[in-house]
Structure 1
């Protein structure tokens, strides 16, 4: 279905109850609704926003177009949790209903200030000639969960030297001042991040563009995030317009980070190389927050802009990743599922095998929603790995290729995938004769953590419900495997 501009800018408030009920019924009939991931009730979900801890709960918002699987006029939808595992839908948080955000409440972040949760976001507005005028706005949530917008933008205009692609403020506090990084595009059509400061979250001063060693790295940097872990600074952003290179940058848009400490006085960051955060097919626009115990927690959008998905025909699209704790070890970010997710574990099963150029299955090892940890030790095998969501026609294959020293995720036969110019295999380098895969599989997704979070592959898959098999294999020689699996939601 082709959506007209008028349809994309139809508000939820302007449709009838019967139309909404019909849409909910259509979505409810989708075979790919998730079991334990955050997903929209209807329509399209994208960027996580406002991720924060306030008044004893984790608060997570996301971009939402309620009426279909397209990027239409955006709302902020609110979900909350006491444990990062069980999430409660709390309804619409920000509606695009004023001159501040007439054409969409775009992405932003949250911070606790004056015992309230301040939400800073980009208001998308357009004039009669359809020219975009982004504004940076504030909405404030109190302890009763009531959210009110400030009546005027706190940043009214784009500073000289930048286009109207100017959005996604991420706020933090340092040495008594608030700072915000904003994703931007220079007038020469290259991407960057700019810095603002404020004493009170109300009055903001443009400090300048953050000087990096990446002056021509894509045409737009979206969803920036700056934070420190044990004194080490991290700048996360999602650059658009990066050409593939080796095993890297094979999605339509990328998300990654550089390590380096931001000097807010000189607006400069002396940083290392840019690394992708995720090696899978569907990961974008991540946002982090600091948990009460000091952990840095990340959530990403399990999807990508400008891509079609099989659930589109069911009236919905996308979900969020599971929360991940990120640490810095040996000069790289490590990502591990937050420990609280162990509360999802149901029935536990264990198995082990010596594999010799063969494929094996284990009793009770099957399912469509589960966690599994599997460790392989290669003797002389050329490769080893796991096949999940298996049937006669379908499988998703995870391989460690010892000859090439690479991990491959292959979704060529994963089910109802729309044809894509971006390929069906993702890979990364990994050396050694031992490998551990930790998988979180849901009805239509796979989150794969390799070697305790050294690499992560996040991907949507769309197999049939009866594709539930699990197989273990070694090719070209011997390998041993040890596996433990837990049901989720059964």
Structure 2
């Protein structure tokens, strides 16, 4: 039985109790990193790390879906399965590149034999964007190019001028770095440079690199393991950050000006971006985190993991701004907008916007089970410790994340979607979190001296 036949025969076994409506999830099984997020032939394609056979991480496949609006996704056949000597342990993360009428995938072939790990970079191609053929010359980047293939993964493939490039995550002396490789034809590659190396506090390996230009700046995204916490920032053991600066292409080096955490929440990792036909830079990420239990697995629901609502990125006033894509807003219509003196309560809307000048407390849920979002003395606190099923964390037991604001003015956009809450503050700071209430989810309650609140509901489809 093929993997696609197995999915078809077993997907009805999924319990949908905690499945979100507006966040991407797989038909069945485990997902993590988005892969090959790309705009191809008029549609958005999302590939993802996928283990369909259980709700636990396992030998990685590339799941695949496509969409015309970034919200409603059509599940497609699994694009890559671990079936070759160089990838029999898993088809690990990578990226996609549209080349004329072809869609090229570059991924990491993973093999673990008797505790010895080998990770090499491989290619697959498709003309219809659905069926993929692995290159006969795979792997295309391996021990011929580097000495360390133990931690050597997650290629970012792109084209600049008349050459192809690939950024690959690696490590040296337990310090993360990103290596740059170059090719004229996709098949023959050469090592060009160490693109960027971590400082001692910046993690022991940088996973899932992405590179793009935004507002006249170059941006390098990486997801470091063991980035050292700095106040409220980088509180997750596994973080996601963006370096903002400029690429020196002659030397093959990234020159950093600033580095910031992308998302301050408990559940956000391995973001990828694409550029679409509207010239928008759009980002999506895995809305989960390593090292934590996942109630949908513990409860036997046969699925685990979702993606964030896609966000559009812009660069303004020295910072990268984030907002939900317009297609998400298109799903709703404004129900009510009002100025409130002290207390506000409503059935939980899928989208709520509010403006505060000073402190507030917002609770999502019931009197006994809730996620609390509060602001006091320009410090935002998100606390899910009372939200329902315990999410056990072997490395960091805190269910609280915080950030410091630069102003008393706070404008929030809050998307609550069954078991996820995506909170954007001033189009700048973001908290992505999951939670699993034992009872029905309840209401939203807000307390503040004076504020403006807008609630949105899903449009009725005729």
Q: How many angstroms apart in 2 are the aligned matches of 1:302 and 1:191? A: 23
Q: 1:233 to 1:75 in 2, by over 3 A?
A: same
Q: 1:203 to 1:409 in 2, by over 3 A?
A: same
Q: How many angstroms apart in 2 are the aligned matches of 1:425 and 1:158? A: 46
Task: Find the counterpart in structure 1 of residue 154 from structure 2.
Answer: 168
Report the 3-state secondary structure (helix = DSSP H, G, I; strand = E; otherwise coil) of the residue aligned with 2:347: coil
Shift of 1:217: 2.3
Task: Find the counterpart in structure 2 of residue 118 from structure 1.
Answer: 104
8 Å CA contact 1:184–1:192 kept in 2: the answer is yes
Q: How many angstroms apart in 2 are the aligned matches of 1:465 and 1:400? A: 26
Shift of 1:489: 7.5
8 Å CA contact 2:193–2:253 kept in 1: the answer is no
Report the 3-state secondary structure (helix = DSSP H, G, I; strand = E; otherwise coil) of the residue aligned with 2:386: coil
Match of 1:387 among 363, 380, 401: 363
Shift of 1:87: 1.1
Q: How many angstroms apart in 2 are the aligned matches of 1:106 and 1:208? A: 23
Task: Find the counterpart in structure 2 of residue 89 from structure 1.
Answer: 75
Task: Find the counterpart in structure 1 of residue 351 from structure 2.
Answer: 371
Match of 2:424 among 429, 449, 454: 449
> Deviations for 1:372-426, whole angstroms, at most 9, x for unmatched residues?
1111134xxxx213211x212111111121x2x2111111211112233331111
Match of 2:443 among 445, 469, 475: 469
Report the 3-state secondary structure (helix = DSSP H, G, I; strand = E; otherwise coil) of the residue aligned with 1:125: strand
> Deviations for 1:304-353, whole angstroms, at most 9, x for unmatched residues?
12321111122221100111111112222111111111221156233331
1:285 aligns with 2:270: yes
Shift of 1:196: 0.6
Shift of 1:159: 4.0
Report the 3-state secondary structure (helix = DSSP H, G, I; strand = E; otherwise coil) of the residue aligned with 1:285: strand
1:417-428 correspondence to structure 2 within 5 Å: 417-420=390-393, 421-428=396-403
Task: Find the counterpart in structure 2 of residue 350 from structure 1.
Answer: 337
Shift of 1:100: 3.1
Report the 3-state secondary structure (helix = DSSP H, G, I; strand = E; otherwise coil) of the residue aligned with 2:279: coil
Report the 3-state secondary structure (helix = DSSP H, G, I; strand = E; otherwise coil) of the residue aligned with 1:435: strand
Q: How many angstroms apart in 1 are the aligned matches of 2:44 and 2:227? A: 34
1:59 aligns with 2:45: yes
8 Å CA contact 2:353–2:453 kept in 1: the answer is yes
Shift of 1:220: 0.7
Task: Find the counterpart in structure 2 of residue 192 from structure 1.
Answer: 177
Report the 3-state secondary structure (helix = DSSP H, G, I; strand = E; otherwise coil) of the residue aligned with 2:354: strand
Structure 1 or 2: more strand by fraction: 2
Shift of 1:25: 4.3
> Deviations for 1:280-321, whole angstroms, at most 9, x for unmatched residues?
000000001111121111000101123211111222211001
Long gaps (5+) in structure 1: 1-11
1:36 aligns with 2:22: yes
8 Å CA contact 2:175–2:197 kept in 1: the answer is no
Report the 3-state secondary structure (helix = DSSP H, G, I; strand = E; otherwise coil) of the residue aligned with 2:151: strand
Shift of 1:198: 1.3
Q: How many angstroms apart in 1 are the aligned matches of 2:160 and 2:362? A: 46
Q: How many angstroms apart in 2 are the aligned matches of 1:107 and 1:346? A: 37
Report the 3-state secondary structure (helix = DSSP H, G, I; strand = E; otherwise coil) of the residue aligned with 1:31: coil
Q: How many angstroms apart in 2 are the aligned matches of 1:444 and 1:57? A: 27
Shift of 1:112: 0.9
RMSD: 2.1
1:483 aligns with 2:453: yes
TM-score (norm 1): 0.88
Q: 1:165 to 1:58 in 2, by over 3 A?
A: same
Report the 3-state secondary structure (helix = DSSP H, G, I; strand = E; otherwise coil) of the residue aligned with 1:412: strand
Match of 1:109 among 92, 95, 100: 95
8 Å CA contact 1:35–1:489 kept in 2: the answer is no
Shift of 1:488: 3.4
1:66-81 correspondence to structure 2 within 5 Å: 66-81=52-67
Match of 1:340 among 318, 327, 343: 327
Q: How many angstroms apart in 1 are the aligned matches of 2:144 and 2:421? A: 39
Q: How many angstroms apart in 2 are the aligned matches of 1:226 and 1:347? A: 36
Q: How many angstroms apart in 1 are the aligned matches of 2:355 and 2:382? A: 16
Long gaps (5+) in structure 2: none
Shift of 1:185: 1.2
Q: How many angstroms apart in 2 are the aligned matches of 1:146 and 1:130? A: 33
Shift of 1:126: 3.2
8 Å CA contact 2:369–2:437 kept in 1: the answer is yes
Report the 3-state secondary structure (helix = DSSP H, G, I; strand = E; otherwise coil) of the residue aligned with 1:304: coil
Task: Find the counterpart in structure 2 of residue 416 from structure 1.
Answer: 389
TM-score (norm 2): 0.93
Shift of 1:251: 1.3
Q: How many angstroms apart in 2 are the aligned matches of 1:90 and 1:400? A: 43
1:224-263 correspondence to structure 2 within 5 Å: 224-263=209-248
| Aligned residue pairs, count | 455
Q: Which runs of 4+ in 1 moved over 6 A?
A: none
Shift of 1:24: 3.4
